[in-house]
């Protein structure tokens, strides 16, 4: 009975959120390329084309499946994310569009996908709450649009946003953040101080920089950000990235889309 109930729930989810999959590809800087058919689904953000190529849906991160990896457990809703993506694109012709680096280190294509009727696959997955926005400095196209869709899905607590595993963490709880080392997270808080040290920008979220949460921006990436440190001080922000341990929990930021200013428009370039 539980298995039947679970299947019925996901039929309900697919039907309820079907209109959101109609999001058209936004007018961002993409170069349209070839068309191909999707023949299989690896997980919630990776598909296989008829010519054998794998495509990683750039701009998002869906819940991960173990896929045979040792000491790796499926993330919550990983199987459901794969089902939702399969319902969108399996055995469908998709157009590939590129907005930056085209191939990752595993040889996968890094592309935006949209269907013949104009539906944007990345936008649909984010709008359904089946993925988080996940970007890179060399692949930033359409991220602003995805962040808007993610925010609405999160406010509505759709799919992953109703699961504690994907909860937005709080910057003023460094002990809790340390429990999430080496994981991709969203963290919110108020910047207590901003300082430049040997060209590196530090955004501190507490009085003790040796223990509290910190966001750092390396000199080579600072040109993408405001030179006015006052725009950061006392700002309430949401930052996304991989939590590391260096004088307390830390996220290294490389591009502006990793930081959202929550009390006003973003002030990075």
pLDDT tens-digit profile of 169-186?
999 999 999 999 999 999
Nearest to 57 by CA among 118, 130, 116, 3: 130
pLDDT(155) > 60: yes
pLDDT band at 212 (very low <50, low <70, confident <90, very high): very high
CA-CA-CA-CA torsion for 177, 183, 189, 193, nearest 10 degrees? 80
Region 168-261: CATH code:
2.40.50.140
Q: What is the pLDDT of residues 92-135, one digit of tens each?
A: 999 999 999 999 999 999 999 999 999 999 999 999 999 999 99
Within this chain, domains 2-162 and 168-261 share the same CATH topology: yes
pLDDT(268) > 90: no
pLDDT band at 146 (very low <50, low <70, confident <90, very high): very high
d(CA 153, CA 160): 9
Output the pTM of the full model: 0.87
Predicted pLDDT at 191: 97
Region 2-162: CATH code:
2.40.50.90
pLDDT(143) > 60: yes
Q: If you ran DSSP here, which 8-state letter would residue 141 be given?
A: T
Are 132 and 26 in contact by the 8 Å Cβ rule? The answer is no
Q: What is the mean pLDDT of residues 147-162?
A: 97
What are the residue boundaries of the structural domains of the chain, listed by start? 2-162, 168-261
Residue carrying structure tokens 């990345």: 122
Tell me what the pLDDT averaged over the chain comes to: 89
pLDDT(67) > 60: yes
pLDDT band at 72 (very low <50, low <70, confident <90, very high): confident
d(CA 70, CA 66): 8
| Six token digits for residue 179 | 């429990």
Integer angstrom CA distances of residue 17 from 38, 39, 58, 156: 22, 23, 22, 12
């Amino acid at each position: 009975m539980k298995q039947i109930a679970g299947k019925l729930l996901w039929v309900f989810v697919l039907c309820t959120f079907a209109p959101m999959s109609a999001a058209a590809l936004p007018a961002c800087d993409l170069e349209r390329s070839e068309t191909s058919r999707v023949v299989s689904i690896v997980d919630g953000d990776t598909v296989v084309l008829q010519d054998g190529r794998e495509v990683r849906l750039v701009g998002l991160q869906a819940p991960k499946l173990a896929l045979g990896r040792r000491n790796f457990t499926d993330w919550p809703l990983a199987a459901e994310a794969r089902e939702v993506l399969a319902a969108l694109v399996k055995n469908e012709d998709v157009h590939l569009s590129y907005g930056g680096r085209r191939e990752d280190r595993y040889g996968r294509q890094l592309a935006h996908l949209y269907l013949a009727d104009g539906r944007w696959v990345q936008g649909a997955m984010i709008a359904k709450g089946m993925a988080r926005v996940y970007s890179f400095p060399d692949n930033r196209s359409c991220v602003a649009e995805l962040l808007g869709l993610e925010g609405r899905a999160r406010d509505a607590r759709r799919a992953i946003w109703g699961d504690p595993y994907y909860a937005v963490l709080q910057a003023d709880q460094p002990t809790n953040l340390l429990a999430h080392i080496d994981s991709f997270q969203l963290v919110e808080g108020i910047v207590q101080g901003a300082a430049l040290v040997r060209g590196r920008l530090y955004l501190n979220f507490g009085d003790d920089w040796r223990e509290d949460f910190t966001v750092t921006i390396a000199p080579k990436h600072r040109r993408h950000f405001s030179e006015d440190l006052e725009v950061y001080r006392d700002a309430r922000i949401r930052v996304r990235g991989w939590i590391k341990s260096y004088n307390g929990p830390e996220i290294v930021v490389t591009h502006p889309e990793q930081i959202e200013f929550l009390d006003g428009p973003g002030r990075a370039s």
